[in-house]
Amino acid sequence: DVKVTQSSRYLVKRTGEKVFLECVQDMDHENMFWYRQDPGLGLRLIYFSYDVKMKEKGDIPEGYSVSREKKERFSLILESASTNQTSMYLCASSLVLADQETQYFGPGTRLLVL
């Protein structure tokens, strides 16, 4: 089974703090993704990466950055956390196979910024 793990299930931070969210996948997938999920808005793509050290902006990259130094690990960084970044963050990975991409999700990190 594909396993995607996220470093924390729940996190409480203060405004202005630098926050790191870590994601690890164990299936040698090329692609990794970070989403945020908010009630009534569904999932919105923040950043994705299709290879080590490669990254692409998603639909809402403002206030976030990412790092992918190793294939299995994709980090989301909030340089200076703000209250409007309180959300559920979901990481996913995928293996593109004949254009039939299936994304596999981690359990999510619920972040509260005070």
Partner 1 sequence: AQSVTQLGSHVSVSEGALVLLRCNYSSSVPPYLFWYVQYPNQGLQLLLKYTSAATLVKGINGFEAEFKKSETSFHLTKPSAHMRDAAEYFCAVSDMWSGGSNYKLTFGKGTLLTVNP
Binding residues (CB under 8 A) for partner 1: these are: 4, 30-31, 33, 35, 40-45, 48, 50, 56, 58, 90, 92, 96, 99-108
Residue nearer to partner 1 on the CB measure, 31 or 87: 31
Separation CA 57–CA 104 (nearest Å):
19
The distance of closest approach from Cβ of residue 90 to partner 1 in the complex, given in angstroms and rounded to an integer, is 6
The distance of closest approach from Cβ of residue 59 to partner 1 in the complex, given in angstroms and rounded to an integer, is 8
Residue 54, SS3 per DSSP:
coil
Residue nearer to partner 1 on the CB measure, 35 or 85: 35
The distance of closest approach from Cβ of residue 34 to partner 1 in the complex, given in angstroms and rounded to an integer, is 12
In sequence order, which residues have a C-beta less than 8 Å from that of residue 82 and are 6 or more positions away? 15, 63, 113
Q: What single letter denotes the amino acid at residue 55?
A: K
Separation CA 4–CA 18 (nearest Å):
23
Residue nearer to partner 1 on the CB measure, 27 or 82: 27
Q: What is the DSSP letter of 62?
A: T
